[in-house]
């Protein structure tokens, strides 16, 4: 009984608090002071649980819940915590460039198998294309079924400042576009995307966290190193291996700050927006979450089952990176844990280090689904009756323009604004979406992370290099040497 007290007590208190909240919502009879006390007593009991559990994942989830409660009860204090979440994301971003460069170069040059790199490239892109196309159509179907945009009272929705759509197009490109006919703009923008994946300065690319540019440079550098004779290649390969190992240890140390960082991020989100914001656009939010759930259960889960991926262990490997992605709305923040956890799960490092970063630009399942859904929502809210052909054309445009912008702040909104303007959709309505964008971004970023984790497993299985035994023993290995099962 004593051993399970740390589990039973929080569950009892949580149940009592849920009942009190339900009674207040239905009958409005519970004093606010009672609800306040119930919330914080329940949270205190979960501290006891986390201490007993000895798991960093538990502390991260606890941080998310505490952040939400702090944001609700003390909104101004919560908003003042924003620098803590920004600091955590900055700290994690220091990992991205070095870890991508080191693991990719070592993966290519360390094995000198250039044919495998080519195979991984076309297999990855084929899978990415299929997955994102399915996500796009699920989003399109979901918004047409729920009709979430129809009947929206825009006067009750907070009008917030929009990101400048010009951020999606450089000044020099705008000059060139002015001299091109409208029907040629999409071709120019498509070729501009391929131009922009090549770095002009690798230090600048690392500084700006341009993931795809880092990947391109690392792949070419790795191929060049693989072509050098063994005597001259070995010192650099050993250096890359040492750098990669060091960055993984560096990641483990930084993750001890994760509960504070993600808690502050959640506190700021709730404190800045408030719970009431959900009432205005609840249907859109539910449509997105429902569509993402459909994608997870009817697309990604069947793929995992077909490949005989141990689902329980896979979920265990996803817990930390998805928790971080959900709370910070940053795929970059989750990247280091994604790579280390997938390697521990049985995906070879050279495959993880190629597939996951590439997927951050080409396999944004959650973002693609969101863009198709949000663009039709804008049309519905404006009273525009788009034909299926028009909707498909919008989605095709989004599929092209959304690639490679994962590192741009508010990237999905910038792309959405540019597309809305191109098809004559009222841009002002997107200001309403911005009001709950943070809440939607949590879900779509989490699905992006899950999709890219599974993509690495798919390619590893396809290459015949997935370590099934390592996957089945994931938790056991983790308990021996990973810090996420130690107290902080």
CB of 459 within 8 A of CB of 352?
A: no
CA separation for the pair 59, 71 (Å, rounded): 18
Neighbours of 29 (CB within 10 A): 8
- Side-chain-side CA neighbours of residue 377 (13 Å): 30
pTM score of the predicted model:
0.69
Return the pLDDT at 92: 76
Return the pLDDT at 422: 65
Burial of 342 from C-beta contacts in 10 A (0-12 / 13-18 / 19+):
buried
For residue 266, give the H/E element and its range: helix 258-273
Helix, strand or coil, per DSSP, at residue 80: coil
What CATH class does 55-481 carry? mainly alpha
CA separation for the pair 463, 472 (Å, rounded): 19
Region of residue 386 (left: phi > 0; alpha: psi -120 to 50; beta: else): beta
Return the pLDDT at 428: 62
CA separation for the pair 152, 146 (Å, rounded): 13
Residues in CB range of 232: below 8 A, 6 or more apart: none
C-alpha dihedral, 205 to 208 to 210 to 211, nearest 10°:
100
Return the pLDDT at 401: 59
Q: How many degrees, rounded to 5, is the angle at CA 55 between CA 49 and CA 57?
A: 100
Residues of the chain below pLDDT 50 = 1, 156-158, 277-278, 280, 404-409, 477-488
Return the pLDDT at 402: 62
CA separation for the pair 443, 366 (Å, rounded): 7
Region of residue 309 (left: phi > 0; alpha: psi -120 to 50; beta: else): beta
Return the pLDDT at 305: 95
Neighbours of 385 (CB within 10 A): 7
> What Å distances lie between residue 162 and 52, 68, 181, 375, 413, CA to CA?
45, 25, 27, 15, 8
Both tokens of residue 199?
A: 């770095």
DSSP 256: G
Instruction: Return the domain boundaries, the chain.
Output: 1-54, 55-481
Map 410-455 to HEC letters.
CHHHHHHHHHHHHCCCCHHHHHHHHHCHHHHHHHHHHHHHHHHHHH
> What Å distances lie between residue 375 and 49, 144, 200, 370, CA to CA?
43, 11, 33, 8
């Amino acid at each position: 009984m004593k051993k399970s007290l740390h589990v039973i007590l929080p569950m009892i208190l949580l149940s009592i608090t849920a009942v009190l909240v339900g009674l207040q919502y239905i009958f409005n009879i519970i004093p606010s002071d009672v609800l306040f006390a119930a919330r914080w007593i329940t949270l205190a009991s979960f501290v006891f649980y986390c201490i007993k559990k000895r798991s960093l994942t538990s502390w991260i989830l606890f941080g998310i819940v505490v952040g939400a409660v702090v944001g609700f009860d003390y909104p101004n204090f919560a908003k003042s915590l924003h620098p803590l979440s920004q600091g955590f994301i900055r700290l994690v971003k220091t990992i991205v460039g070095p870890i991508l460069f080191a693991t990719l170069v070592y993966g290519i040059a360390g094995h000198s198998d250039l044919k495998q790199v080519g195979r991984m490239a076309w297999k990855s892109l084929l899978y990415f294309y299929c997955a994102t196309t399915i996500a796009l159509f699920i989003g399109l179907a979901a918004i047409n079924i729920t009709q979430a945009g129809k009947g929206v009272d825009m006067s009750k929705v907070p009008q917030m400042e929009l990101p400048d759509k010009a951020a999606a197009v450089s000044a020099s490109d705008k000059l060139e576009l002015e001299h091109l006919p409208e029907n040629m703009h999409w071709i120019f923008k498509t070729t501009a995307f391929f131009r922009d994946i090549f770095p002009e300065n690798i230090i600048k690319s690392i500084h700006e966290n341009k993931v795809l540019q880092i990947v391109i440079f690392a792949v070419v550098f790795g191929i060049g190193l693989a072509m050098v004779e063994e005597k001259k290649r070995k010192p650099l390969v050993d250096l890359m291996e040492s750098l990669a190992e060091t960055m993984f240890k560096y990641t483990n140390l930084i993750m001890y700050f994760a509960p504070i960082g993600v808690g502050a991020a959640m506190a700021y989100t709730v404190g800045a927006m408030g719970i009431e914001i959900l009432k205005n656009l609840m249907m859109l939010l539910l449509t997105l979450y429902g569509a993402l759930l459909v994608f997870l259960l009817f697309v990604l889960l069947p793929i995992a089952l077909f490949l005989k991926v141990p689902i329980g262990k896979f979920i265990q490997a996803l817990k930390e990176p998805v928790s971080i992605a959900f709370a910070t709305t940053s795929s970059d923040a989750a990247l280091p844990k994604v790579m280390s956890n997938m390697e521990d799960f049985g995906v070879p490092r050279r495959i993880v280090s190629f597939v996951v970063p590439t997927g951050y630009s080409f396999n944004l399942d959650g973002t693609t689904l969101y863009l198709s859904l949000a663009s039709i929502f804008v049309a519905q809210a404006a009273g525009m009756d788009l034909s299926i052909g028009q909707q498909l054309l919008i989605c095709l445009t989004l599929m092209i323009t959304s690639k490679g912008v994962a590192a741009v702040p508010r990237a999905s909104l910038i792309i959405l604004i540019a597309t809305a303007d191109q098809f004559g959709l009222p841009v002002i309505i997107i200001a309403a979406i911005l009001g709950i964008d943070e809440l939607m971004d949590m879900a779509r970023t989490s699905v992006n992370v899950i999709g890219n984790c599974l993509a690495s497993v798919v390619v590893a299985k396809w290459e015949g290099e997935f370590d099934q035994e390592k996957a089945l023993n994931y938790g056991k290995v983790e308990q021996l040497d990973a810090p996420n099962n130690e107290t902080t």
